[in-house]
């Protein structure tokens, strides 16, 4: 069986690998979406095939998925709607929208029994993993695994075991990760399994095992898996990309074994072939690590600080370009900080120390567990002390008065801008809080505003419109929106209409999408309850979100901030303060 056949068998796994290794920047069009004439008569099957054929074309992917979603919504087809929502979430670049889309898919999947839910939860796992929320990612991965076993899908069982192992490796649980990787590897090497024929899948696993072995300092074991990879030869671009990643990893492995020349030769060989303008020929993480370790190797072999600085600055720029944080690269900032201090470049030293503080803050926030030695030399108190010393040295340096004055003016201006920003922010927040306290709720205002809408504009029978509006009124007055499982489909059935009419009436009369309509009702209810019931002010954010019908505190916080411009914690805090005065 040739490589082309392998890829046809494993389209799903390749998609999951692409989503896991890269960060896509595709955006969903704002609703309502108009299907292009060229796609109006196309089937789900056609859209599915075109999506995978054009996986790297952002405009086409967006068009196919948005069309897919619109067709599913009009046809009241829950299963295909879940497919479209979850995939749109996978390609959405805005984090809030991405979470909203995938949580909508998960919410609408309640009560549904279908193998497609494996993919919904699988994509949710990838999304939360890419946002470094590994605990939540594991929850969804485990749900996907549970469904895979329920529907006896060996393919997805293996894929989800591998994904869970990757998450465990990312948070530093390398032993547990290796155990799962080997379980998956054993499955792939079984001759009677349909996906055991995929050499790329095996190679990806071997790289993962070798990398985890390296982090556990089991360097000989890491080399064993590299040798298995290097002995293979397949004429395929993706295969070559994985092989290059494995070679970089082995070069790093040889560095820790003390074989500096061999390590440098391996890493430089790969870097010489990589086309940095063609993203499909390399994985960013491994390329960034290649530049970082070439700097370390240069220092180990020649102690040429200038050349090492060049590699480390390249690493820093790559981390910024790909908007990522790799814990072991923290060493570049330690090196640069010491170098700038030695050269009395105190401004550069301060900037570098600030980068370390931000670096550590991001790692802490993302809950990435790293080796203690990466942080021993530059923990936060030491960094702050070094920063103060650098500023003091700057003030007493023998540089010219003009330069010193310019530096001080720059620092004062930055602090002044920061102070102005904070004061302005506080003023805006206070104004928003006062408006929330004094003004009626948004849905009350919206009802008064839309009494006379031209029936020709909405193009729906007037009696039906009035009926649905009346039912919406009772729906709002009865606080039925507090039920966490409410969806457009469920509400349309309750009103004895279809989702298209209901969605259109809400869009025109409420001037918002269904999701925002429900969320705003919940937020208005929450604000009302918080103002009138002091006991609720002492609930946790999670408790308040559950009372309001949200599935989690993150969705509640995002909806509250979108509707009010404030975080719920800020609003509650100032409500309490107001009560004391």
Give me the architecture of the 442-580 domain, per CATH: Orthogonal Bundle (1.10)
- Span of 196-205, 447-456, 468-477 with lowest mean pLDDT: 447-456
Sequence-ordered alpha helix ranges (H) in 54-153: 58-74, 78-91, 95-108, 117-130, 134-150
Most confident range (mean pLDDT) of 72-86, 400-414, 466-480 is 466-480
The CATH 1.25.40.10 portion of the chain extends over 1-191
What residues have CB less than 8 Å from 86, skipping those under 6 apart? 101, 102, 105, 119, 120, 123, 124
Q: How confident is the model at residue 191 (pLDDT cuts 50, 70, 90)?
A: low
CB atoms within 10 A of CB 72: 20
Tell me the whole-structure pTM to 2 decimals: 0.53
Q: How confident is the model at residue 522 (pLDDT cuts 50, 70, 90)?
A: very high
> 1-191: which CATH topology?
1.25.40
In this prediction, residue 30 carries a pLDDT of 47
Burial of 491 (0-12, 13-18, 19+ CB in 10 A): buried
The CATH 1.10.10.60 portion of the chain extends over 442-580
pLDDT exceeds cutoff 60 at 225 = yes
In this prediction, residue 14 carries a pLDDT of 47
Spatial separation of the C-alpha atoms in residues 55 and 457, rounded to whole Å: 38
Q: How many residues can be counted in the chain?
A: 581
What residues have CB less than 8 Å from 252, skipping those under 6 apart? 214, 263, 267, 289, 293
Give the up-direction half-sphere exposure of residue 265: CA atoms within 13 A in the CB hemisphere: 5
pLDDT exceeds cutoff 80 at 570 = yes
């Amino acid at each position: 069986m040739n490589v082309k056949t392998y890829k046809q068998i494993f389209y799903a796994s390749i998609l999951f690998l692409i989503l896991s290794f890269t960060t896509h920047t595709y955006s969903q069009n704002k609703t309502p979406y108009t299907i292009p004439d060229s796609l109006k008569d196309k089937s789900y099957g056609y859209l599915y095939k075109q999506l995978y054929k054009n996986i790297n074309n952002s405009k086409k992917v967006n068009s196919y998925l948005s069309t897919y979603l619109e067709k599913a919504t009009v046809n009241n087809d829950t299963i295909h709607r879940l497919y479209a929502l979850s995939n749109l979430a996978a390609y959405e670049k805005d984090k809030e929208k991405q979470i909203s889309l995938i949580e909508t898919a998960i919410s609408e999947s309640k009560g549904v029994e279908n193998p497609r839910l494996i993919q919904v939860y699988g994509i949710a796992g990838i999304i939360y993993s890419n946002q470094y929320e590994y605990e939540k990612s594991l929850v969804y991965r485990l749900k996907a695994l549970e469904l895979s076993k329920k529907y006896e899908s060996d393919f997805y069982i293996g894929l989800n075991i591998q994904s869970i192992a990757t998450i465990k490796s990312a948070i530093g649980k390398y032993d547990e990760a290796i155990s799962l990787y080997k379980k998956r590897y054993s499955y792939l090497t079984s001759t009677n399994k349909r996906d055991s024929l995929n050499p790329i899948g095996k190679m990806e696993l071997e790289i993962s095992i070798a990398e985890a072995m390296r982090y556990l300092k089991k360097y000989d074991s890491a080399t064993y898996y590299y040798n298995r990879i290097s002995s293979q030869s397949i004429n395929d671009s993706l295969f070559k990309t994985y092989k290059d990643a494995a070679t970089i990893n082995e070069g790093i492995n040889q560095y820790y074994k003390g074989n500096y020349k061999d390590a440098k030769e391996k890493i430089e060989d790969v870097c010489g072939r990589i086309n940095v303008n063609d993203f499909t020929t390399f994985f960013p993480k491994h390329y960034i690590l290649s530049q970082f370790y070439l700097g370390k190797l240069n220092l180990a072999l020649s102690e040429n600080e200038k050349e090492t600085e060049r590699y480390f600055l390249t690493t820093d720029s790559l981390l910024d370009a790909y908007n990522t944080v790799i814990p072991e690269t923290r060493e570049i900032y330690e090196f640069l900080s010491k170098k700038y201090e030695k050269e009395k470049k105190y401004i550069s030293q301060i900037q570098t120390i600030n980068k370390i503080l931000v670096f550590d803050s991001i790692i802490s926030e993302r809950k990435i567990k790293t080796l203690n030695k990466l942080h021993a030399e530059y923990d936060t108190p030491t960094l702050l002390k070094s920063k103060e010393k650098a500023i003091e040295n700057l003030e007493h340096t023998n540089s010219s008065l003009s330069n010193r004055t310019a530096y001080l003016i720059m620092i004062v201006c930055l602090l002044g801008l920061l102070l102005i920003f904070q004061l302005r922010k506080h003023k805006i927040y206070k104004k928003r809080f006062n408006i929330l306290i004094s003004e009626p709720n948004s849905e009350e205002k919206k009802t008064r505003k839309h009494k006379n809408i031209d029936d020709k504009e909405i193009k729906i029978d007037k009696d039906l419109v009035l009926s649905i509006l009346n039912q919406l009124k009772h729906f709002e007055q009865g606080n039925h929106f507090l039920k966490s499982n409410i969806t457009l489909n469920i509400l349309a059935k309750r009103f004895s209409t279809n989702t298209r009419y209901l969605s259109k009436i809400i869009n025109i009369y409420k001037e918002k999408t269904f999701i925002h309509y429900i969320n705003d009702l919940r937020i208005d209810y929450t604000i009302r309850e918080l103002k009138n019931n002091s006991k609720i002010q002492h609930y946790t954010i999670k408790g308040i979100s559950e009372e309001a019908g949200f599935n989690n505190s993150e969705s509640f916080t995002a909806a509250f901030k979108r509707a009010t411009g404030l975080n719920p914690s800020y609003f509650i805090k100032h409500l309490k303060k107001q009560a004391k005065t």
